[in-house]
Amino acid sequence: MILAIVVALLFVLLLCRMPVAFAMGIAGFVGLASQMPMSAALSILERVVFDTTSAFILVAIPLFILMAEILTAGDMTRRAVIACQAWLGHFRGGLALATLGTAVLLAALVGSSTASSATMASSAYPEMKKHAYDDRLSTAIVSVGGTLAILIPPSIILIFYGVMTETSIGKLFLAGVGPGLLTAAALATTILWVSRRPGMAPSAMQFSLRRAISSSAPIWPVIVLLVGLMLVIYAGVASPTEAGALGASGALLLALARRSLSGGALARAFGRAVQTTVMIVTIIYCSQIFSSYLVFTRVTQDFILLVQGADLPSVLVLVAVLLVVLVLGFFLDQLAIMSLTLPLLFPLMMALQYDPVWFGIIVTKTVEIGLLTPPLGLNVYVTASQTGVPLKTVFRGVVPFLFAEMIVLTLLVSIPEITLWLPNRMGF
């Protein structure tokens, strides 16, 4: 009975538009306080908040976010669009391909899907508009390209998953490379197919090797920085937290060397990094409060025993889990979905002998698709608000790309080696 009241309280708070972090924290604490003395509930609250916020691995989150903010504030996005356009503009729909290529690079810089879409909407969409691209194609690329940010390392969502489930972040970063590139290839194929329809994309521009090389010069140091960070993590030279510190320092040095970052822009970059970090850490410790209540009431253990007792095929359970995550994506953002579902679903998947790294990529991919689906489709809303294009138009343009995303998800579920080959190959 108490469990039903606590769950009802959680959903009432969410329906009242309370931030999901506070809704989970309040519901979890009410549940604890209703089943033990107030002093004991407060003691658990104190311990959970302290243990969670003092975890060393959490330091990686603000460092990678700061690196992304500094590079973005240093005019990196516009330069990347120009460089990708110079290399890919000779294809029909080349500017759309260039935008996707920029999204891949930006995914490694930003690590946040909505931030990536917002950045691309303000930098790449005007270029496609100027070259007479149909709004359905141009806004779809901005929306879909942003979702790459939650797969391609260093992804904030993968760090979040690693902290929540105590899974190796280095492994998760490696595992995200293959699915991320596979997704980019599927989206590029879809662009080429959609661009063949009349009026969707203009004819191709002439290719110039000299222009392509010269336009790429400003972004090579950033690529070297990103590749270097991945190498030091995978080689065991530095932990993800130490690599984040190196990345933030390297980004600052690059921006200062190019004189592309003013004092005001640097201050705003620090401010946005602090704001995003506080939001993520708050979600983490509030979800841990709710998770503590579930552990105390043995809901998680009973749920696992119930599923095992039903003797359902593990594949069927996995499909049901992914459907739940996909439906939640209609209404919630990626961090909210992870914080709500992982305390219950992760132990279940581990009891069914699924690999934690593989499951992390699969659930992240499913959350990514939820960012594009109606009625919420957070990335679609961000793109529509930033570009002024009607929401209906953006959703219509996204439909072909949703089919491509579902094909990729099916491949990742059916062939785990796509995800696990690289971390296994690197000895993780």
pLDDT surpasses 60 at 199: yes
pLDDT surpasses 80 at 119: no
Counting Cα atoms < 13 Å in the Cβ hemisphere of 385 gives: 11
What does residue 195 show for φ and ψ, rounded to 5 degrees? -65, -20
Give pTM, 2 decimals. Answer: 0.76
25-34, 129-138, 139-148, 232-241 — which one is most confidently predicted on average? 25-34
Element (H, E) at 279: helix 263-296
Pairwise CA distance, residues 333 & 382, whole Å: 12
Report pLDDT for 197. Answer: 82
Structure tokens at 418: 């796509």
Q: What's the gap between Cα 145 and its chain centre?
A: 11
Number of C-beta neighbours around residue 92 at 10 A: 17
Pairwise CA distance, residues 194 & 190, whole Å: 6
Report pLDDT for 144. Answer: 85
Pick from 164, 82, 85, 71: nearest CA to 115: 71
Question: ω into residue 154 within 30 of 0, thus cis?
Answer: yes
Q: What percent of the chain has pLDDT over 70?
A: 88
pLDDT tens per residue, range 232-257: 877 778 877 888 888 888 888 888 88
- The predicted model gives 193-207 an average pLDDT of 75
pLDDT tens per residue, range 9-63: 887 887 787 877 788 888 888 888 888 888 888 888 888 888 777 777 777 778 8
The helix/strand/coil state of 416 is: coil
Question: From the DSSP assignment, how many helices (H) and strands (E) are in the chain?
Answer: 22, 0
User: What percent helix, strand, coil does the chain show, rounded to 5?
Assistant: 80, 0, 20
Structure tokens at 329: 């994506």
pLDDT surpasses 60 at 428: no
Report pLDDT for 331. Answer: 66
Ranking 107-111, 126-130, 242-246, 344-348 by mean pLDDT, the lowest is 107-111
